Amino acid sequence: MAFRCSTNSISAALAVIMETNEDRYVFVVEWYDQPADLVRKYQLTYYCIDRSVEMYDLKNRRVFLKRMQVPSLPLADIFLGNTITVYARQLKVVEYADVFTRTRFESKKARTFGMIKPDAYHHLGKILTAVQAGGFKITRLKMHRFTQAEARSFYGEHQGKGFFNDLVAFITSDVVIGMELVGENAVTAWREFIGPTNSNTARSSQPTSLRAKFGTDGSKNAVHGSDSPASAVRELELFFGLPSNPAVLSNCTCCVVKPHAINKLGEIVDGVLEEGFEISALQLFNLDKPTAEEFLEVYKGVVPEYSQMVDELTSGPCVAMEVRQENAVQSFRQVVGPSDPEIARALRPTTLRAKYGADRVHNAVHCTDLAEDGVLECQYFFQILSPK
């Protein structure tokens, strides 16, 4: 049920705007209580008019959080399967709690599976930028290298067809990047966005589509998209259920795109590749406070902004990358620039922090400081935190 405030609107248009602004939506969310090793469930109510939330403890049947504003939490971030942050707590949205919320959200927050194929690796940054600009929200993201068995399972519907073996050989030839994409009528919208299967057809009929811009032919067509809601469910479960490939863990450094800079992810990835670095592992993470504190522990008591750095890293999704090159840690630090973006803009204006950073806490990316820590930081994300 929507929450309405009485108003004497002077026009029908204004009435519609007020009605939309003053809706409230109700969800069931889960929070992992690490000290107790328990998953706790709450009913979360979100008020559009002022971005405030209140939470009710479903097990203990009592108010857990009185209505309070969370300015950093837009309604667009609240949908099934996503992880949101409310006062440093990482909450996973698991259910709609009333019919009104379900009705409003089911079509607008649909999911689909998208995949960047091996032939488009060098266009990875540009494709990610296009995806975000196209109105799709990336809620899961992972680089993977298919085994023969995994590829045959993924493309099982094509088994027995003449092109099947070539398709499997192609998709296992190098890494792919899988994406869970959320948006209104996501399956149809994504299929339209990427264009016809054959890239040559796409160039003549839909020249602005991804396959027209980055594909070569009918198989090497840059990107994949689920062809139905049922396929989307199957492919999402299959791909994100696969054990993560181990990172290379040699000649590497760790790059973490911070939450405030996620909307610039594609441009940052482009910057890394254009400097001649290899991205050999990449994954989206939602870090809780203990995890962020552990990762940033080396800065505790050393950097005055340590607590703020932890808060920033837990404020939303971040993307970790294993970046490789000879002497990777030192050479990548030159590309990233000084930790203070103002200094970076003054002294080295082409660096990543100069371009995308705001201040010492919101400085766009983390990079490994010491040569001996490159492997350790990559291990932390891609072995310790990644599902096996």
Active-site positions read 224
Angle (CA) 287 292 298, round 5°: 155
Strand order of the sheet with strand 176-183? Answer: 223-225, 110-116, 176-183, 137-144, 278-285, 318-324, 252-257, 365-367
Q: How far is the C-alpha of 264 from the C-alpha of 171, rounded, in Å? A: 27
* 286: alpha, beta or left? (left if phi > 0; alpha if psi -120 to 50): beta
- CA pair distance 386, 121, nearest whole angstrom: 22
Buried b (16+ CB within 10 A) or exposed e, 283-295: bbbbbbbebbbeb
Count how many residues are written for the chain: 388
Cα-based distances in Å from 306 to 237, 312, 313, 357? 37, 10, 11, 17
| Token representation of residue 247 | 């990172």
Q: Which residue has the tokens 């009605």?
A: 19
DSSP secondary structure code for residue 360 in this structure: S
